[in-house]
A and B are shown apart, each in its own frame.
Chain A
Amino acid sequence: MPDLTRSRLTPLSSLPPAVPGVSYSAAPAIARLLYRGSDGAVAAGAAFGVALPTQPCSSAIAGDRATLWLGPDEWLLLAPEYETLAVQQAIAAALPGIAHAVVDISHRQVGLRLDGPRAAAVLNAGVPLDLSLKAFPVGMVTRTIFEKAEIILWRTGPVAFRVEVWRSFAPYVMAIMAVA
């Protein structure tokens, strides 16, 4: 029987070409867990090792883990891929009898990183939000749209963004970025 644990195919195999002012890279495979339920948010954050932010549209990072606020009772938890199961178990153990949900969506979406002074302008080809540093500071994260695709947009640096997009929409998003 073949072992296919390392045989993978992502839709980010061909990225938009870098142009002056912006370059693209694929975020590595990662554990993505969608945590729901505000009752256990504090305990879940403690178990995860990164607090779940309560400030809307904010994020927190500690080491190789991050938590992204997506809604009043919804957070995206990012961790190294090999920890997917351990994180789920840790949260379950920390929340006995407290209503919550943790769903593995590691493969549902992919992470595309944009770097460079033109990154915001390229994103604004499809994102209707104000991406100035004043309105969308480093660390801000939100669900929004890029043209006809839903994305999660996370500013990771003054000229660096991460776009999380459902895998089948990634080619569409990248094709528009390439001609933006």
Chain B
Amino acid sequence: MRTGNGGRVDRSRRINFSFDGRAYQGCAGDTLASALLANGVHLVGRSFKYHRPRGFVAAGSEEPNALVDIDRGNGRSAPNLRATQVELYEGLVAKSQNRWPSLAFDLQALNDLAPAGLFGAGFYYKTFMSPRGAWHRLYEPFIRRVAGLGHAPKLPDPDHYSQRYAHCDVLVVGAGATGLAAALAAGETGAAVILADEQAEMGGGLLDERTASIDGLSAANWVGATLARLAAMPNVTLLPRTQAFGYYAQNFLGLAEKLTEHLAAPDKSQPRERLWKVRARQVLLATGAIERPLVFPDNDRPGVMLASAARTFANRYGVRPGERAVVFVADDTGYGAALDLHAAGTEIAVIADLRTAPSGPGFEAASGTGLRIMPATVVTGVSGNLRVSGVTLGSLAADGTVRGGEKIVCDLVLMAGGWTPAVHLFSQSRGKLAYDSERQIYLPGTYAQAAQSAGACNGTFELAQAIAEGHAAGAVAVGTPGTRSFAVTGAIAPAGGFHGAVPHDRNPEQVKAFVDFQNDVTAKDIKLAVREGMHSIEHIKRYTTTGMATDQGKTSNMNGLAIASAALDKPIPDIGLTTFRPPFTPVTFGTLAGHSRGALLDPVRQTPMHGWAAANGAKFEDVGQWKRAWYFPKPGEDMHAAVNRECRAARSAAGLFDATTLGKIEIVGPDAAEFMERLYTNPWHKLGIGRCRYGLMLNEAGFVMDDGVIGRLAADSFHVTTTTGGATRVLAHMEDYLQTEFPELKVWLTSTTEQWAVIAIQGPKAREIIAPLVEGIDLAAETMPHMSVREGSICGVPTRLFRVSFTGELGFEINVPADHGRAVWEAVHEAGVPHGLTPYGTETMHVLRAEKGYIIVGQETDGTVTPSDLGLDWAIGKAKKDFVGKRSLKRPDLVKTDRKHLVGLLTADPKVVLEEGAQITVEASPATGTPALGHVTSSYWSETLGRSIAMALVAGGKGRMGATLHVPMPDGGIAVTVTEPVFFDKEGGRINA
């Protein structure tokens, strides 16, 4: 079916591909659609609901039927691709969808024979109503299996995707005649222009022209010359294979660029697609128009296609889509298509024109060529199942009745129903559409953003006018208005058109005239929906699903509106118009996710000592974005054995711990102490320089938000630490108050979390180990007591040395500039090994602090816990006039005595370790529905104590000391005794050693 010459394919380069397991050959430059048609294949899919055989309707992105699955293997598969947009490459493997066992013989095609109404409008709501519950068990799984499109890939996508922000003066969407002229006008001024087009080759409809010329050049040569000029402009970016799919606020558009999809052997290092996030000063929409099918009985048979599609296949791809065609027209461009097919060697059996008095250059030319033309004639039926074999014609009388019917043998039926401007992006931009009642089309009306439309999408169908409009719009977009005229010959413009259901003489209950091919919605369905009370297009759409398929009704919306309009006897604009939503064509998830997947889903933060921990066998846990060393198992050790060993070492000798991830904020300025006074519950004015204090931060509601040890470095300078996870939140909270509530305070906040590597050494031998390494600081207990900070150096590296402890042991936290962290860590480790110094991770840290009853914000607290609940009343500066949260602490609810208090729990059986999160009740086996008194917040095996320990929040806990409560578990209740939450060294002798 390949023509002898012409078109834009390279007949000398044969491309092998397969469809449904059968091998075919196409040419370089083919799409899968044109290559299949060149092989005489029209049957490419089964319809969504009725499983009717389907062929190509269109040749571009509006194609509703020809959805295929392309599988490159190893997870590189994509369903629901429009065969009309799939570029052919060597070895391409395509499969049809929604058929079983085969495309030609599909058992579910029985759906097509089902009694009228079973699968009609709203059948979801009517057919599957009872029994209740069967929807989830039976109906929905069944419908999902039989109705449908392609299958989502099951393997992870092995490709990667890129994203790019871009800014430009003018974004031109669509590189047809109008868009090219617009880009040229804007580009010539030196403005930054991006020209995006969904097709592999730019030129749009000009690539389909056989006879048109522009300024003396053939259409194709004019495209070539214009593209060459644009490509030579460094300020112009040409993006072919790029779908502008979404138009968002403030001229922000999403563009999906296909980079490797057309290649036989893509370089795996290249991204498959790139998402362009474009911010344009001016947007110029040159998105063209989409031809409408005519709605007549059996208009969905393979071999029935849009006239424009047949023209594209013949002229651009050199493919005759049939041997003998019936051309059903309501618009002059249909004659152009007939002439082009005639020239390509397809016999034109007849041109049936719905209009009584056709006119126009296309009509004149067809008449002049001697093609048989029948005015006032409609197609009333199509024979053939897997492929058109003929049509029945009827004459349309002035009263709208149809009398039949000449039968014509043909293998191709073309539909030329007129053109619908592609206003999708304009509508997405929140522009208001205006209805042109004379031509029955919606056009861009009031603009909501800095945009213009030009050419066919603006209703300017005539080629010379469209190019001139595009050029003028391009000039206006860059602020240099001017007009230019283009000399065009040989082009046939849209004129005429028809909307709605074509009249016929058949029994309306027994025929299917399709409006929405992809969702299998017929004219009958829309009429039924109207009869059943759906009078707004929003209701009709949802009830019938018209326009709701992956093509979003590109070919069906206007016909659907017109049918509803006729049924309701109301003008089209009164029925409303559904909102166009992004994406214009489906966008793969990978493109939207971009870099944000796998290892790059989120930043993975590592401390300067991470490499050492990894090299020494550490297991890591995620704490926010940080990787923290969890425990350091020795060969043969499980987590418990490792943690027990680490705990013993820290209590008996010393442990080494990476505390770098703790948030750090430097608070500097003459009002630093006053600021601290207001943000923390504790008093700060009198804290001595070189001393530290445990700080407690509340939110405005009086609940504990964060805590940490804070050192005073100077009269006007504090070194604040926060929880690891709270670092960002706390700084934002502080800045919020400083800027909005206390702008008068002269103080500045700087995050220093990453300035310092923090090496915690904890244990009775801590001082002994680091003493030889430290210079300029007297470490003696009398001169440097617990909760103090000094500046000096360690191993020659400047340090802020804190004497603090989160373990209950004598301990130091060595802060060194981060670049030096690893080296100092190694030096301390080396010095400590002879003393039994043992690295430990976060798990041991948790156990050691729990033995001392130290809370972890976020573990013992959940955003509803007050200082008093935690037994931290001592941390509240009672004499303070105010601090954030102070007023809330007096709320009646926060002073009730039956609030949940932090307590310790000791199991009756010391070997039993409670589950964190377990509920706590009075009875061992409470009745179902009994409210819990609270829950276990922390629970560990304490190697130090040789038994389990736990902390919990328990209602009225302070009054339950010594009481026995229960933790009900599936195997029965576990008896526990309520205690103070401090289990070890209650006097604190060790910490002050």
Determine the distance from Cα of A64 to Cα of B64 in the docked complex, in whole angstroms: 65
| Contact stretch, chosen from B469-477, B818-826, B910-918 | B818-826
Are B822 and A168 interface neighbours, CB within 8 A? no
Question: Does A125 make an interface contact (CB < 8 A)?
Answer: yes
A29 to chain B, nearest CB (A): 7
A41 to chain B, nearest CB (A): 13
Question: Does B616 make an interface contact (CB < 8 A)?
Answer: no
Within 8 A of B (CB), among A108-124: 108-109, 121, 124
Question: Does B165 make an interface contact (CB < 8 A)?
Answer: yes
Chain A, residues 31-42, CB within 8 Å of chain B (1/0): the string is: 000101100000
Question: Which A residues fall within an 8 A CB radius of B?
Answer: 1-5, 7-11, 29, 34, 36-37, 73, 99-109, 121, 124-130, 132, 135, 147-149, 166-169, 171-172, 175-176, 179-180
Question: Which B residues fall within an 8 A CB radius of A?
Answer: 160, 162-167, 192, 271, 277, 279, 595-596, 599-600, 602-608, 611, 625-626, 666, 668-671, 746-748, 750-756, 772-773, 775, 795-797, 817-824, 827
Determine the distance from Cα of A5 to Cα of B600 in the docked complex, in whole angstroms: 34
Note all chain A residues with C-beta closer than 8 A to B671.
99
Q: Which residue of B lies closest to A130 (CB)?
A: B167
Note all chain A residues with C-beta closer than 8 A to B796.
1-5
Note all chain B residues with C-beta closer than 8 A to A105.
750, 752, 755
The binding surface of chain A is classed by DSSP as loop
Note all chain B residues with C-beta closer than 8 A to A106.
755, 817
Q: With A8-B819, A99-B746, A180-B162 known to touch, is A107 a contact of B606 (CB < 8 Å)?
A: no
A96 to chain B, nearest CB (A): 12
Q: Which residue of A lies closest to B606 (CB)?
A: A168
Contact of A34 among B163, B595, B750, B753 (CB under 8 A): B750
Are B668 and A1 interface neighbours, CB within 8 A? no
Most chain A beta carbons < 10 A, residue from B166, B754, B817: B754
Contact of B752 among A7, A37, A103, A132 (CB under 8 A): A103
Note all chain A residues with C-beta closer than 8 A to B164.
121, 124-125, 180
Q: Which residue of A lies closest to B269 (CB)?
A: A179
A90 to chain B, nearest CB (A): 17
Are A8 and B167 interface neighbours, CB within 8 A? no
Contact of B754 among A129, A166, A171 (CB under 8 A): A166
Contact of B772 among A1, A147, A149, A169 (CB under 8 A): A1
Determine the distance from Cα of A180 to Cα of B275 in the docked complex, in whole angstroms: 11
Given contacts A125-B164, A168-B626, 6 further A-B contacts (CB under 8 A): A7-B820, A99-B669, A107-B818, A107-B819, A147-B596, A175-B599
Are A2 and B271 interface neighbours, CB within 8 A? no
A89 to chain B, nearest CB (A): 14
B733 to chain A, nearest CB (A): 18
Are A1 and B160 interface neighbours, CB within 8 A? no
A8 to chain B, nearest CB (A): 4
Note all chain A residues with C-beta closer than 8 A to B746.
37, 99
Are B279 and A130 interface neighbours, CB within 8 A? yes
Note all chain A residues with C-beta closer than 8 A to B668.
36, 101-103
Note all chain A residues with C-beta closer than 8 A to B606.
11, 168, 171
B887 to chain A, nearest CB (A): 29
Most chain A beta carbons < 10 A, residue from B605, B606, B748, B822: B748
Are A29 and B819 interface neighbours, CB within 8 A? yes
Contact of B595 among A127, A130, A176 (CB under 8 A): A176
Q: With A1-B772, A168-B603, A176-B595 known to touch, is A101 a contact of B750 (CB < 8 Å)?
A: yes
Q: Which residue of A lies closest to B612 (CB)?
A: A9
Q: Which residue of A lies closest to B605 (CB)?
A: A168
Note all chain A residues with C-beta closer than 8 A to B750.
34, 36, 101, 103, 105
Are A129 and B165 interface neighbours, CB within 8 A? yes
Are B795 and A135 interface neighbours, CB within 8 A? no
Q: Which residue of A lies closest to B747 (CB)?
A: A101
